[in-house]
Structures are given as structure tokens and as C-alpha cells.
Chain A
Amino acid sequence: EDQVTQSPEALRLQEGESSSLNCSYTVSGLRGLFWYRQDPGKGPEFLFTLYSAGEEKEKERLKATLTKKESFLHITAPKPEDSATYLCAVHGGRDDKIIFGKGTRLHILP
């Protein structure tokens, strides 16, 4: 069964404390893995697309990496404004669908 699992469910960090969020997936024929940021009461905002194992993308304090089984979103020296829910989604599978994980709620303490 095609599936996306994100961990941890929630993460509290001190400002400046770097960490990583995990997205594990099982899907045949991966066509793309996506990371989104979602603020409370708003729609998700696109961050990155990764297509193949070994690929990396960076944007400000965020770096996304991809292996054949999982993706990591690394957050370096986070600031309180990085607090949000981060969603992972994959495109592929037998039905060529887009499947979302439940997200990781990140809270950065000042």
C-alpha cells in the first residue's frame, strides 16, 4: 500500500537549535516528493520538490534531502518564524496519486 509517514508528530526547539524532520514513504514508481509549510488557518505553501535519491534542495535555513525510502527536512539555526506544520507528499504509485503525510508541528521557542 502506498503510504507516507512523518516523524516526529511535534517538535519543540530552542531558537538556534538545529534538527531534522523525517518523511518515510512506500510508493512504487516515485515521480516526485514534495515539502510544504502550513501556517495555522492557511493553505500549505510549496517549499521543495525532489525527484531522485541523492538530490538536495536548499532555501534559507531549510535543506531537503532524498533517499530511496525517506526524505529529511533539515532546519539549521531555526528562528521563531519557522514555527509551522511541515507537510510531506509523494506523487507516484499504482494509481499515480499524490499522497500527503500528517505533518510535523514545529515550534521554535525564542
Chain B
Amino acid sequence: EADIYQTPRYLVIGTGKKITLECSQTMGHDKMYWYQQDPGMELHLIHYSYGVNSTEKGDLSSESTVSRIRTEHFPLTLESARPSHTSQYLCASIGGLISYEQYFGPGTRLTVT
């Protein structure tokens, strides 16, 4: 069973606040991903990383940043939260070099008021 953790699980915050969503994995995986998922919709890639000090933007990255200082930790930061950021945020990792099956965390449900 994959060990990937996200905190907080639920967050309600006001517009304009800076927030950081935490993601940690204990499997030593190099590849990590952040997705945004609205109800009934597909996962949209926000950012990804192939290892320490490596980060890349996905399709929805313009309003957030990530860092990868340690292999096990991949936090996502929203500098100024807006109601349009209300969504489910999922973190995932991949351990294989050939196969890209992803292991997901439980998600953070973010509500911006």
C-alpha cells in the first residue's frame, strides 16, 4: 500500500489569503504531481516534479507555485486565494522508471469564501 499524505484534509479560508497545501510520501518516489479536480470532472495537472530541485508547470499552474527541496515533500502554495480556487486538490507520486501508475493521497478539499 502506498504511503502518501496530504494536509490539511479540509480548509476553509477567506479571499486573498496565502495558503500552502502539504504533500509527503515515504516511498522514495522521484516523480510527484499536483492535480485539481472538480466534482464530476477530470483531473487537471497543476504542477509536477521529477526529482529534487526539479519542478514543471502543468495546465493550471499560473496561480500557484511548488517547491521540491526534499524527495519526500512537495508543497503547493496559492499566493492569494480566490473563490475560483475552491476545489479538491490531489497529490500523487510515481515510483517506477517505466510504468507510470500513480499513487494518490487522500486529497485536500479547499473552500475559498
Contacts and interface: CB of A to CB of B under 8 A. Distances in A.
Contact of B109 (A41, A46, A87): A41
Interface string A79-110: 00000000101010000011011110100000
Interface string B31-44: 00100000011110
Given A100-B42, A102-B41, A102-B42, A42 B101 contact: no
A31 interface: yes
Interface in A44-102: 44-46, 49, 87, 89, 91, 97-98, 100-102
Contacts of A91: 100
Interface in A26-54: 31-32, 34, 36, 41-46, 49
Contact of A44 (B40, B90, B99, B100): B90
B92 interface: yes
Contact of A97 (B6, B45, B101, B106): B45
Contacts, number: 52
A31 B6 CA distance: 28
Nearest to B103: A46
B100 A43 contact: no
16 contacts: A31-B100, A32-B99, A34-B100, A41-B109, A42-B106, A42-B107, A43-B92, A43-B107, A45-B104, A46-B102, A46-B103, A49-B100, A98-B45, A102-B40, A103-B40, A103-B42
9 closest cross-chain pairs (CB), A and B? A43-B104, A100-B43, A91-B100, A100-B42, A102-B42, A46-B101, A44-B104, A43-B107, A49-B101
Interface of B: 6, 33, 40-43, 45, 90-92, 99-107, 109
